[in-house]
Structure 1
Amino acid sequence: MPEIPARRKRATVHDVAVEAGVSRGTVSRVVNGERYVSDEARKAIEAAIVKVGYVPNTAARNLVMQRTQAVAFIVHEPGPLFVEDPNIGEILLGANAALSDADYQMASIVVDSERDTERVARFLRGGFVDGVVMVSARTNDPITRVIEQLELPAAFVGHPPGLTAAWVGIDNVGSARAVTEQLIATGRRRIGMIAAALDRDSGVDRLQGFTDALGDRFDADLVESVPLYSYSAGVDGMRALLARHPDLDGLFAASDAVAAGALETLREAGLRVPEDVGVVGFDDSAWATRTHPPLSTVRQPAAGLGRAAALSVLAQIRGEKPAVDGIMVETSVVWRESA
């Protein structure tokens, strides 16, 4: 049998110190990014590190500093929606960019079931991360309670009622009102809504904005509630609305994915968009430009939300206090052919 080669011995701080002709303490100060080391000594140490192949033991350093250099990115959504929803991906990428700039790792976690909730709670209690970015938290979310109990540095994308932690978000009420008012201005008389995710603040607030825009014309029977911001929820919600109100001539879908599903159902029913039914969505995600016709919608900067949340967590890890009233990011209405 061929011999297994011996594992190469890991270079140590002592090896670097001997090669550079300095003390181990001086090497440690350079490795840890501290000041008060002469330029001559620093150059000698950097050359020695390359020569002996020294790699800092990050795990040991983090143990001493009581830091993991990692932040959890927790999404409380079904697994398939995590893949389907471009918004979640954009939020994740924005958060990851900010963490990467700060030399932090991101641990992505999907909470899809009660068992996941228990598993993630154990993970957080184990001290494997220094902070948390939380997406799609529900009212009375058990993960939120764990985060608050542990007093972990955290920032939420969205603002569930009763939340005391830092958060970043958008004006869902005002944005939904603005896009609905623009739909009304096209002359639509029977405007319905597929209201998604009413177990969290964004869903409730978008329904409120829709209600505010219609005022006295609001009809609760023209609202169909669906559980998720998903394409399939849009298909089901549109079918239910058309069964009750075949004379519908306008629709506000609570997300672009929901709107895309609704467009498919309208096509199946032989209805033209926008000639027969004007449709608007929310997010300005990849769905908005892939549909036919392209969607009128609300643009929210998802990557910016993720970045702002991650920066808030990093600031808290440094000992800074989060913004008391949260961080609000601006939105805008984008008008396309669907309405």
Structure 2
Amino acid sequence: MSVPSEFARRRSATIHDVAAASGLSRGTVSRVINGERYVSAEARDSVMSAIAEVGYVPNTAARNLKTKRSHAIGLIVHEPHSLFLEDPNIGAILLGTNSVLSAADYQLVSLIVDSERDSDRVAEYLRGGFVDGVIIISARENDPIGRAVVAMGIPAAFVGHPPDIDGIAYVGIDNVQAAEAITTRLLHTGRRRVGMIASALDRDSGRDRVAGFRAALGDAFDPALVVDYPLYSYDSGVEGMRRLLDRAPDIDGVFAASDAIAAGAMDVLRAAGRSIPKDVGIVGFDDSAWALRCQPPLSTVRQPAGDLGRMAAQRVLDQLDGRESATGGTFLETVIAWRESA
């Protein structure tokens, strides 16, 4: 049975159709579509009007073959799927990254690494040339993705800085200084038995926050009052606070390595009949949505997560355009948000 003509598939508009509708040459149309210079504003307006008139859609695949660019940047997140959804910092970094890439007409591609199989799959994907560069969040020591990126030599930036990988640009914060500053302020409220629920000791942020905590305590540091867990999660705070109470029932101060951890710890303290901050003062890290959901509101370190994403994206774009080398670090400032929890 024949298909009625009104249902016949419409022929896709071509660059020749745009040229005919605009009254300009195919070369001029091509320069406008490819964003090249040396095109008058009048000609550019005519081409854009013609594109809208004929319904032309650029052939991205053909353009990518010609330019040898995918116009996509991968955002690699080394976290379990559950934490990807739970951690507000990851979302803020993602949105910051996307804002810069979108303005530069690049597509953000999210790649979540939750297992060794994911690492192998993502590394193979990168080798396939599907992205022009990568931004890597939460990379650990002995990270196979980081090593693969170094070996491939593609433009890249870490958010954070794995100490065993060189040759990749990075942006971050001074976790040692920030942790020391907020622990010192907690001590100035008169706390004498202060513990820490640490996390992510296989990456720079986790280790550096412990180092800052230890520096603030000096000779009063007690390793028995530090417990650690793999993830910056609410559950880590619950389990960690229970362990600290078992070890030191007289504990009167806690530094949690993230706001999510602090939220879990605060729930355990309340269930144990401890008043916050009267009996136990507690501080966190990030100034994420968790901090304001806590009762009382959480004293914490404000981490500029969105700015970290924006800066990392810009560093990758600068490498693609030849404006920057692939090495060196940039640190952004943090501030203490002091609230009722301490």
Which amino acid in structure 2 is aligned with residue 314 of structure 1?
A: L
Counterpart for residue 91 of structure 1: 93
CA drift at 1:334: 1.1
Matched, 1:6 2:8: yes
Equivalent residue number for residue 56 of structure 2: 54
Consecutive unaligned residues in structure 1, runs of 5 or more: none
Give 1:42 shift: 4.0
What are the equivalent positions in structure 2 for 1:177-196 lying under 5 Å apart? 177-196=180-199
Residue identity in the other structure for 1:327? T
Alignment of 1:103 with 2:105, yes or no, is: yes
* SS across alignment from 1:261: helix
Q: Tell me which residue corresponds to 1:326.
A: 329
Quick check: 1:127 aligned with 2:157?
A: no
| Change beyond 3 A, Cα 1:15–1:206 | same
Aligned-partner SS, 1:109: strand
The CA distance in 2 between the partners of 1:20 and 1:269, in whole Å, is 75
Contact 2:319 2:326 in 1 (8 A): no
- What pairs up with 1:181-260 in 2 under 5 angstroms? 181-260=184-263
What TM-score results when the alignment is normalised by the length of structure 2? 0.95
Q: Which runs of 5+ in 2 are unaligned?
A: none
Shift of 1:50: 2.6
| Structural RMSD (CA) | 1.6
Q: Secondary structure at the match of 2:339?
A: coil
| CA deviation string 1:77-121 (max 9, x = no partner) | 010000001111111111111111111110011100111111111
Once the 2 structures are TM-superposed, how far is the Cα of residue 162 of structure 1 from its aligned partner? 2.8
Equivalent position to 1:21, from 9, 13, 23: 23
Task: Give the stretch that moved more between structures: 73-82 or 11-20.
Answer: 11-20
Distance 1:100 1:295 in 2: 34
| Residue 272 of structure 2: aligned partner | 269
1:45-84 map, 5 Å: 45-84=47-86
The 3 A distance-change label for structure 1 pair 61 and 323 is closer
Aligned residue in 1 for 2:119: 117
Alignment of 1:131-142 (within 5 A): 131-142=133-144
Q: TM-score, normalised by structure 1?
A: 0.96
Number of equivalent positions: 339
Give yes or no for the alignment of 1:307 onto 2:310.
Answer: yes
SS at match of 1:107: strand
Q: Deviations over 1:24-78 (max 9, x none)?
A: 2222122212233455544443333232221211221111001111101111001
| Counterpart AA for 2:71 | Q
SS in 1 for 2:110: strand
- Are residues 1:337 and 2:321 paired? no
